[in-house]
Amino acid sequence: MDYAAIDLHKTASQVRIVTNDKVVDCRVPTTRDRFRTTFECPDRMKILLEAATESEWVAQLLETLGHDVVMADPNYAPMYGGRSRRMKTDRRDVAALAEACRLGLYRPVHRRSLDHWAVQWELTVREHLTRIRTRSIVLIRCLAHMGGVHLSRAGHAETFVRRVEATELPPAIQHAVAPLVAIVPVLNEHIAAADAHFKKTAAADSQMRRLMTMPGIGPVTAAAFVAALDEVSAFRGPGHVVSYLGLVPREYSSGDQLRRGRIVPSAHPRVQALLVEAAWRIWRSANPDTRAPREWAQAIGQRRGKRVAAVALARRIARILYAMWRDETEYTATRTSRRVAA
């Protein structure tokens, strides 16, 4: 079988195509039309490309043309065994990728389904809307404070505009914050619509419904968790899941020294944040069904502090959610109590 490799970039990508009689190297614009023209041929090829931002749509396009596409982990060192460290060019990179494709020296990555990609994009937009609303509210409160007016932090974001309108602000401050006061209700509507959409999505998905049986887990957190993992069978165990989500501490160890820091960066920071929020909800809750993990986390908090304990509880929640998904079981307080005690 003929094979090829692509070194993907945002504007232009390096391509190498190897057939029985020749090797073709070319640089093409990273566009659908150009990739379709380059790879539209009757012979089926095996094509290797690194997992990156542009990789998924390129892989889907090449598969519609009848080719076998492998999306490889760029952190797998043997894939670049033939590349010199002293000189790096796109042409040398694609040559190393093509050789890895020929020899099978790559580690394929799991590709999420289109439905879960759509959920991920919707979560990204919702988070962006929430951040804009939060920053707008903080700025309004700050400017009001500079004008000698203290806006209470109590209350929900949905009622913030009413509280501002009921407060007598200095004319200059009122004029300055008017655009933000007009934006916040619009953001509230879009965020509420997104929450309603996730509630509907979670109600129609059996896995999300199952995860929501755990107290503290709502539709957004369940949707984010399922979209991030995509397939539970792709993970070896709960330890693999928490590592994948970045809920493990950084470690700097050498010799007899052992140093651990904050949690590691992850490809799913939204899931990290949502699980930590779920941990705080359980921490502050009096629900008897979450008594075991709550007391476990509070014991850690007495020794290491609340923030460390919240991350530890988020890690525990991720393990529980994974086990529920893997075993296709709903949340059971007694079963969780035995696991925490163990």
Question: Which tens digits make up the pLDDT trace of 82-130?
Answer: 666 667 788 888 888 998 998 898 988 888 888 888 998 999 999 999 9
Q: What per-residue confidence (pLDDT) applies to 342?
A: 46
Closest of 107, 55, 51 to residue 77, by C-alpha: 107
Which residues have C-beta within 8 Å of that of residue 236, sequence separation ≥ 6? none
Q: For residue 23, what are the β-bridge partners? A: 18
The answer, yes or no, to whether residue 42 has pLDDT greater than 70, is yes
Q: Which two tokens stand for residue 37?
A: 């023209």
Average pLDDT for residues 240-263, to the nearest whole number? 67
The whole-chain average pLDDT of the chain stands at 87
Q: How crowded is residue 195: how many other Cβ atoms within 10 Å of its Cβ?
A: 14
How far apart are the C-alpha atoms of 319 and 202, rounded to whole Å?
20
Residue pair 323/240 in contact by the 8 Å Cβ criterion: no
The average pLDDT across 298-314 equals 91
**Residue 170 parent element (H or E):** none
State the DSSP string of 58-110.
HHHHHHHTT-EEEEE-TT-GGGGTT--SS---HHHHHHHHHHHHHHT---BPP
pLDDT digits (tens, 9 = 90+) for 5-27: 999 999 999 999 998 878 999 99
- What is the residue-wise DSSP string for 138-168? HHHHHHHHHTT----S-S-GGGHHHHHHTS-
Coil/strand/helix, residue 12 = strand
CA atoms within 13 A on the CB side of 233: 1
pLDDT in tens, 223-236: 999 999 988 988 88
What is the structure's pLDDT at 152?
Answer: 79
Q: How far apart are CA 333 and CA 342, in angstroms?
A: 14
pLDDT digits (tens, 9 = 90+) for 195-229: 999 999 999 999 999 999 999 999 999 999 999 99
pLDDT digits (tens, 9 = 90+) for 285-295: 888 988 888 99
267 pLDDT tier (thresholds 50, 70, 90): low
Round to whole Å and give the CA distance between 141 and 152: 9
Q: What is the pLDDT of residue 75?
A: 82
Selecting from 1.10.3720.10, 3.50.50.60, 3.30.1330.120, 3.30.420.40, what CATH number does the domain 2-103 have?
A: 3.30.420.40
The model scores a pTM over 0.85: no
- What's the whole-number mean pLDDT along residues 36-63? 90
Q: Rounded to the nearest 5 degrees, what angle is found at the Cα of 218, between the Cα atoms of 212 and 220?
A: 115
Return the domain boundaries, the chain: 2-103, 114-203, 209-253+260-341
Q: Cα 55–58–61 angle (5° rounding)?
A: 150
- Please give the structure tokens belonging to residue 82: 């033939």
pLDDT value at residue 250? 55
Q: How confident is the model at residue 79 (pLDDT cuts 50, 70, 90)?
A: confident
User: In angstroms, how far apart are the furthest CA atoms of the chain?
Assistant: 81
